[in-house]
Amino acid sequence: MHITGKTSLVGLIGWPVEHSLSPMMQNAAFTKVGLDWVYVPLPVRPDNVPQALAGLSALNFVGVNVTVPHKQAVMRYMNELSDSAKIIGAVNTICLQQGKYIGHNTDATGFLNSLLEANCHPQGMRVAVLGAGGAARAVVFALAQAKAASVIVLNRTAERAAFLVDDLVETFPNNALHFAALTPQSIMDLNNQLDLVVNTTSVGMSPNIEDCPWPSDVAMPSQTIFYDLVYRPLETVFLARAREAGAKTIGGLGMLIHQGAAAFERWTGQAAPIAVMRQACMDGLG
């Protein structure tokens, strides 16, 4: 990579950002398609978000990705928001166009494309989403848009699941969206009636890799597909148990790659080199 005064700038704002795979993934993609662009990690403390955003325009950035904990905080500084960002209530990709800040959310597209890539078509499926945080909102949005037959959101804090469903029901009045507390009993009650279970909680993520959001005394049905958004480790205990039970499993790396690919395409107007981006992530994960 040869950076000059003509190199176009994009990056990632979050706190912290040092472990992010996005710089490796996006820079590999720019190199592959021969673009004179560079993607830089930009650690921004929560109280510096407005100053950091203002600086992007002054420094001629083309855009940025936004990660934890700023996905909601940046919204009020956008001149325009895409429909999905508005409905999900979070921005993970910003495009700067003639000094205007346009906020998008590519997590929902990323999730859906990773499902399709794994040959899982959610239309007509009965789905349980474990967790009700920021990622869950994008996942439920994608599933509702893709016409899943029903989506039940199960969360440790049931209230948060209720808010999520309440927010999305307005946009998807004809979809069967429900919520419940995430307990062994609620999972037992639903078991064998689900086509797809998506873990959007952080349970099982490194360093707590022995943890699993599925109760240890409830068997995982082999006919259900199990998806884990967590990708550190690549195979969580949740996915390993599902695999051992004979079920199809999908890991979270695909969503990371496809949300990045959607951001790449918004900024550059070119098709993203998915295979190169995946390889860069695999290299980054060692």
Ligand X SMILES: NC(=O)c1ccc[n+]([C@@H]2O[C@H](COP(=O)([O-])OP(=O)(O)OC[C@H]3O[C@@H](n4cnc5c(N)ncnc54)[C@H](OP(=O)(O)O)[C@@H]3O)[C@@H](O)[C@H]2O)c1
By annotation, the residues acting in catalysis are 71
For ligand X, the closer CB: 197 or 205: 205
For ligand X, the closer CB: 8 or 276: 276
| Minimum distance of ligand X from residue 60's CB (angstroms) | 28
What percentage of the chain's residues is helix, strand, coil (to nearest 5)? 40, 20, 40
What 115-123 contacts at long range (C-beta under 8 Å, 24+ apart), as own/partner pairs, is: 115/146, 115/227, 115/250, 117/254, 117/258, 118/248, 118/250, 118/254, 120/196, 120/225, 120/227, 120/248, 120/250, 121/146, 122/146, 122/147, 122/148, 122/196, 123/147, 123/148
Q: How many CA atoms lie within 13 A of 186 on its CB side?
A: 17
| Minimum distance of ligand X from residue 165's CB (angstroms) | 13
- Nearest 10 degrees: Cα torsion 3, 6, 8, 12: 50
Q: Which amino acid is at 82?
A: S
Nearest residue to 263 via CA among 70, 123, 74, 63: 63
For ligand X, the closer CB: 132 or 225: 132
Q: Are 74 and 94 in contact (CB under 8 A)?
A: yes
Chain residue whose CB lies nearest ligand X: 133
Instruction: Summarize as ranges the residues that interact with ligand X (CB under 6 A).
Output: 68, 107, 131-136, 155-157, 160, 200-203, 205, 229-231, 252, 255-256, 259
For ligand X, the closer CB: 37 or 70: 70
For ligand X, the closer CB: 54 or 188: 188
| Minimum distance of ligand X from residue 83's CB (angstroms) | 20
Q: How many CA atoms lie within 13 A of 133 on its CB side?
A: 13
For ligand X, the closer CB: 63 or 133: 133
Give the whole-angstrom CA distance, residue 75 versus residue 79: 9
As to burial, measured by CB atoms within 10 angstroms (0-12 exposed, 13-18 middle, 19+ buried), residue 62 is middle
| Minimum distance of ligand X from residue 260's CB (angstroms) | 8
Q: Which two tokens stand for residue 283?
A: 């290299």
| Minimum distance of ligand X from residue 57's CB (angstroms) | 26
| Minimum distance of ligand X from residue 76's CB (angstroms) | 18
Cis, bond preceding 233 (omega within 30 deg of 0): yes
Q: Are 69 and 46 in contact (CB under 8 A)?
A: yes
